[in-house]
Amino acid sequence: MTQAPPTDGGDPRRSAPAALRNRDAIARELARLAPGRGRALEIASGSGEHVVRFARAMPGLEWQPTDPDPGQRASIAGWIAAEAPGNVAAPRDLDVTRPGWAEDEAGAALVVLVNLLHLVTDAGARTALDGIARVLAPGGIAAIYGPFLRDGETTSEGDAAFHESLRARGTGLGYKDVAEVAARLVAAGLSHVETVRMPANNLLLVFERT
């Protein structure tokens, strides 16, 4: 859940506890795997607390945060103004579940997606993954973080309960199977680099445009 921080009423910044818990671990892996230069596209940037941390860890990249929600974009802009170095652009409106979204995003050296796939429909996830493969430049890296099914199963009671609560909405929400996600990206022309086990049963899936 994203919450407004206890700041002055004119401050648009929001705070997401999950982002604060995982951003350092994700930043360490991205710094190890990402290209040193180029444009980094962050999909569904949320509160903006990830991108300011990533930008400091990888100063050679030019970061482009995005989010379809105007309130989140205001929060991202607030965090950029307060904390980001000079390598973060203003947030843009982008919905990666919309067919055709990748047409104007080509040439990314790095694409980062954190905690989105389980919150969109199965069809939306497929659209997002196909677009990610299209926007990567040769040698570009895609890093996809979140909870996943393994052989069709969750890995903890908490994950099982959350997955079932999402599926109960009847809209195709819920955890996606890691093997199906990887197969989709490989079929779209990417090479699987590695799967990194992260805290709290999450995974970081890393692919490259070779």
Beta carbons within 8 Å of 72's beta carbon, 6+ residues apart: 2, 14, 45, 46, 47, 48, 91
pLDDT over threshold 50, residue 36: yes
Read off φ and ψ for residue 170, nearest 5 degrees.
75, 25
Sheet of 38-43: strands edge to edge?
Answer: 61-65, 38-43, 108-114, 136-146, 203-208, 191-197
Q: What is the pLDDT of residues 45-98, one digit of tens each?
A: 999 999 999 999 999 999 999 999 999 999 999 999 999 899 999 999 999 999
153-209 pLDDT, tens per residue? 999 999 999 999 999 998 899 999 999 999 999 999 999 999 999 999 999 999 999
